Amino acid sequence: MPGEAGKSDMERIGLFSEMEYITVGDKYVSPFNRPFNEAASKNKQMLPGGSKEMSDLQQGYFDPHFVRVFEGEGYVNMNQVRRRRMMEEAKKNIGKAFLPTNGTKMQCGFGSYYGTIGGPVQFFSAQLKPREKYLAPRKNLYTNPGKKGTGYGYTSLTIGKQPSHSADFYEESKVVYKKENEDHRHLLKGPPFKLNSYPREYFDANPYFIDKPLPPIKKAEKPVALTTPFKPSSPAKKDGGMKAGTFDPYPSHSTDSYGAKLLKQSPVKSDKIFHPPGGAKSRPAISIMTLNVKRALNMKNYKTASIQSY
């Protein structure tokens, strides 16, 4: 199929080079008819002879006859060994088994010690414990009595020493400012710079400001009322296919000279219209049928799948 807009097939697909060919001249074999294990259906196959079921008979085992783990070992009765061990443990007892003289005693209620081994616990008794005699704390240390005064206008009321008075010069801030201003003026080389370009208040002329006096107010003239209605001098003329009904006379005819026709100029290279290049090149796409086949056929159902089902 020829390419669109004079392009070859490779340029239309958008690949850099032509795809390689793996084989040439091989016959096509459908993957659905191809056997899974072709070697399993040729020549003779291994016949294991069927599976054996495990039972009490000898045919359920690999060996032809039952083989013992130890040959010639002595028979040991486990009951006899257990009894012999119990007799050896009984010899370790010093006397007879301990039997209590009386039966167990039942408690008569919550908090009672009747029937217990240790009896009452002194720590939980309700009797008062002996306490030490109470000694009242002694009085605080006496010092000099507090100094009288509220703090405002009274001296020597603080813990430390009274701060000494330092004289402060009256209006010292004004004197310092005046000195700094004189030092600043001493450093100046001349008067401040002023521009003569804008002698007025605004940078642009104020359009609403007028130097001249305003003219006197004009009195509104009242329209004169007409007593008689207006009547034209003569009736209007009807247009009879000419200029009879117009105000101006019929204009004179003027011949127009034929002008030279404008030649069609050939476009310059710079005057050409810009045409953008073609869009993104398409690539080979898989058909919908192939996608459905791949989804329907997988590694679990490839044995049971057939061509007729698709």
* CB 32 within 8 Å of CB 305: yes
* CB 155 within 8 Å of CB 163: no
Instruction: Give the 3-state secondary structure of residue 210.
Output: coil
DSSP state of 252: P
The model's pLDDT over 41-79, given as tens digits with 9 standing for 90+, comes to 778 777 777 777 777 777 777 777 777 777 777 788 999
Q: What is the pLDDT of residue 210?
A: 80
| 175 or 4, greater pLDDT | 175
Q: Which two tokens stand for residue 180?
A: 């700094």
Rounded Cα–Cα distance for residues 156 and 144 (Å): 14
Rounded Cα–Cα distance for residues 1 and 18 (Å): 16
The model's pLDDT over 111-151, given as tens digits with 9 standing for 90+, comes to 788 878 778 888 878 788 888 999 988 888 878 777 777 76
Q: What is the pLDDT of residue 94?
A: 85
Query: In one letter, which amino acid is 222?
Result: K
| 292 or 23, greater pLDDT | 292
Q: Which two tokens stand for residue 81?
A: 């060994």
How far the first Cα of the chain sits from its last, in Å, is 30
Reported confidence tier of residue 30, pLDDT bands at 50, 70, 90: confident
Nearest residue to 309 via CA among 289, 293, 295, 287: 293
Q: What is the pLDDT of residue 151?
A: 65
